[in-house]
């Protein structure tokens, strides 16, 4: 009887031990695994971070494009302006000057967009992500290319992302903004060159360039042009000063 009682006790004890182990694995399995295996960090976990960086780029670029169209391709007022409906419109042609063509170069516009993207990225906080993130802001590089119907921006932003004992790096981000700025800029360039060399024939230009629509209105000391496309209803505005 005593031996049977001992065997029964051992069986019950074994059952209890198995039950405890099963319960521990069931309820705390993930925690136990985290203690027994190294932290895994793969590229897919960085996608939300990359998407956020690109969204910061996009915000900067789209704001710049709207501003550039309203301000004749400049980020700041210039000395020559045409007064129209109570506003001073930047004049890209000033016929009172020896060099009347005041149009900002496409390279200058691209460089301005790149600089603004860089400043935006530096101030774009990454603190909300559940990673350790080391940012190398000293080596940020941005290039912008304005094409007929889109703007391409490439960003080099060296980031080291760490979690536990694992780390990954990310440094290349790209963005394409669909916009007719390049197409409009080409039309503006045509108009400016015509105005510098004489008068612009608006009707003839439309017959040859139906992808853009050009309108002209008189100002107090010159006139103002507005160029739109099917996709860009707000258009690009600039003045010609007499």
* pLDDT tens digits, one per residue of 185-240: 999 999 999 999 988 999 999 999 999 999 999 999 999 999 999 999 889 999 99
Other C-beta atoms closer than 10 Å to the C-beta of 106 total: 16
Domain extents in the chain: 1-37, 43-241
Q: What percent of the chain has pLDDT over 90?
A: 76
The string of pLDDT tens digits covering residues 144-182 is 999 999 999 999 999 999 988 899 999 999 999 999 999
Other C-beta atoms closer than 10 Å to the C-beta of 74 total: 19
Tell me: pLDDT of 26 over 70. no
Is residue 149 within 8 A of residue 180, CB to CB? The reply is: yes
pLDDT at 165: 86
Rounded CA-CA distance 42/194 in Å is: 57
């Amino acid at each position: 009887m005593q031996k049977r009682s001992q065997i029964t006790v051992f069986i019950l004890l074994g059952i209890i031990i198995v039950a405890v182990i099963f319960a521990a694995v069931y309820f705390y399995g993930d925690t136990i695994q985290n203690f027994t295996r190294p932290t895994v960090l793969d590229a897919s976990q960085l996608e939300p971070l990359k998407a956020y960086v690109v969204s910061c780029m996009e915000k900067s670029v789209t704001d710049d494009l709207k501003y550039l169209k309203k301000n004749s391709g400049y980020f700041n007022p210039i000395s020559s302006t045409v007064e129209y409906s109570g506003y001073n419109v930047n004049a890209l042609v000033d016929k009172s000057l020896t060099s009347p063509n005041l149009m900002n170069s496409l390279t200058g516009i691209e460089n301005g967009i790149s600089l603004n993207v860089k400043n935006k990225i530096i101030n774009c906080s990454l603190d909300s992500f559940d990673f350790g993130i080391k940012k190398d802001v000293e080596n940020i590089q941005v290039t912008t290319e304005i094409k007929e119907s889109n703007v391409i921006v490439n960003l080099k932003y060296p980031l080291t992302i760490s979690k536990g004992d694992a780390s990954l790096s990310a440094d290349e981000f790209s963005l394409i903004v669909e916009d007719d700025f390049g197409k409009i800029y080409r039309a503006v360039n045509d108009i400016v060159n015509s105005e510098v060399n004489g008068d612009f024939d608006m009707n003839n230009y439309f017959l040859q360039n139906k992808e853009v629509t050009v309108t002209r209105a008189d100002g107090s000391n010159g006139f103002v042009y507005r160029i739109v496309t099917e996709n860009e209803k707000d258009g690009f505005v600039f003045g010609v000063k007499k």
